[in-house]
């Protein structure tokens, strides 16, 4: 039984090492995508013939911040050996919903659903911080 536990522990350490390497590679790729998105935003700001340019630039900026959030999440996971906290993930959910709410061009009911979702996540974070010790 001890030999099985030792083998399982070695395998878990190998997988943890592999996950950290994969997260590092993913972080590098997302950083490259983030800078290419920044280059696209810079190009769009100097084009004068496009119609609806403010909404297109806003959509590109939102995409840039999406890549930025992913890179922050990867850095947080790398700092904690592949783990992220529930509080951090809920905060990312709030920012994602806020980003979607800013660019929402849809129906009022959809906007209301997003706003209620944000409120529920905020209430969840408050309950998590006050009553649940993780």
CA distance 67 to 63: 6
CB 65 within 8 A of CB 38: no
pLDDT digit string (tens) for 97-114?
Answer: 888 787 776 778 888 888
Collapsed DSSP state (helix, strand, coil) of residue 11: helix
Q: What is the pLDDT at residue 100? A: 79
Structural domain count, the chain? 1
pLDDT digit string (tens) for 69-128?
Answer: 888 888 887 787 767 778 888 888 888 888 878 777 677 888 888 889 999 999 998 988
Q: What is the pLDDT at residue 123? A: 92
Q: What is the pLDDT at residue 134? A: 60
Instruction: Evaluate if residue 30 carries a pLDDT over 70.
Output: yes
Stated pTM of the model: 0.63
Closest residue by Cα to residue 64 from 90, 83, 45 = 45
Instruction: Evaluate if residue 16 carries a pLDDT over 70.
Output: yes
Q: What is the pLDDT at residue 3? A: 78
Segments forming the whole domain that contains residue 66 = 2-131
Which of 49-53, 57-61, 110-114 is the least confident region? 49-53
């Amino acid at each position: 039984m001890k030999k099985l536990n030792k083998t399982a522990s070695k395998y878990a350490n190998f997988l943890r090492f592999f996950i950290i390497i994969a997260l590092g590679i993913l972080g590098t790729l997302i950083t490259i995508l983030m800078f290419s998105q920044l280059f696209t935003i810079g190009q769009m700001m100097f084009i004068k013939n496009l119609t609806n340019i403010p909404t297109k630039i806003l959509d590109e900026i939102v995409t840039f911040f999406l890549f930025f959030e992913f890179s922050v999440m990867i850095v947080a996971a790398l700092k904690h050996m592949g783990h992220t906290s529930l509080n951090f993930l809920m905060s990312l959910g709030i920012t994602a919903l806020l980003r979607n709410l800013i660019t929402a061009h849809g129906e009022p009911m959809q906007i209301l659903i997003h706003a209620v979702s944000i409120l529920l996540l905020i209430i969840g974070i408050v309950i998590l911080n006050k009553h649940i010790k993780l």
